[in-house]
Amino acid sequence: MKVKDVPIKPRIHTIPETSNFAAALKILVDNKILSAPVVNSEGLVTGQLDLVDLIVFIVHLSKRAQEIFVSLGLLSEDKTINFSDLHVDKQLQDLFDAYDDSTSIANFSKRNSIVTVSLEQSLADLFESLVTYHRVVVLDPSTKALQNYITQSDLIKLLYKNKDLIGDLGRRTVGDLALGSTPVVSVRENQQVLEAFKLVAIKNVSSIAVVNSNGTLTGEIGPRDMRNMNPDELIDQILVLCKELVSKTLPPITVKATDSLLSVIERLETEARHRVWVVDDNNKLQAVISIGDVLRVLIK
């Protein structure tokens, strides 16, 4: 099989490189997508931007705002800034305005380098790329025109459709394959969403587990949550407690160590998720399994 055997999207949503933060977020939110290629006036791909870039950008602004407030004598170094006051100083507005187009925000997280493939490359090449990167750009070798935009989720869909090809490996268990990453990065449900976003940036992960005082999983926070946020009310929305946010979102998908690889693939596909959480009989976190983890096992 080749890259051309992956279904081509009927429409590939793109972000003009002149788009600012709010405009880029609106494109992703309106189209219910997590990422999109950034294109110039000729329609050529110059980068890519996802919601993790926007999360890391928000964390960067909050950190710089803290430094500015301290330098102005408005805040001591041992106190946390009230993020709702970010509009009060011109330096802060200048800081935000410095990132007035999507090219300056694209790959802000340093996780979205452009990886290109052609339609004639092998499916094995595609798997190798998507183990590490969440998405690849398919370009025409001669014109560099955008032909497809393939994500890790597209491969999960392909795997689920052809699950018989996985064979005996699909019947092996999560525990047997040591599938997933540990330790799991988490926040308490009484912390602010901004604190979860900070962990996304610092720990180089895409989503954070939300746990209660007993360490029991109650939700998750990640890029998908940005799609439910109004750009005009962003500051207020990231200051709410994690438990308030997760109460309005779908519950996390959990599996046990005794569940099979095929069942993990099935849940990722049928419930349109990017990860599942491994828990014990008391719903205590054991590991988190990303799509990349699944692909990595399959290409070994």
Query: Is residue 154 domain-shared with residue 175, that is, in the same domain?
Result: no
Residue 214 lies in a domain: yes
- Tokens coding 41: 């006036």
pLDDT (tens, 9 = 90+) of the chain, 300 residues, equals: 899 999 999 999 999 999 988 888 889 989 999 999 999 999 999 999 999 998 988 888 777 766 655 565 554 555 555 544 544 445 555 666 666 678 788 888 888 889 999 999 999 999 999 999 999 999 999 999 999 999 999 999 999 999 998 999 999 999 999 999 999 999 999 999 989 999 999 999 999 999 999 999 999 999 988 887 776 677 778 889 999 999 999 999 999 999 999 999 999 999 999 999 999 998 899 999 999 999 999 987
CA distance 117 to 128: 11
* CATH classification of the domain holding 194: 3.10.580.10
The number of helices, as runs of H, and strands, as runs of E, in the chain is 13, 12
Bridge partners, 214 (sequence order): none
Q: Alpha carbon of 185 to those of 18, 44, 52: distances in Å?
A: 35, 37, 16
What residues make up the domain containing 76? 1-161
CA distance 300 to 293: 11
Query: Is residue 112 domain-shared with residue 209, that is, in the same domain?
Result: no
Residue 166 lies in a domain: no
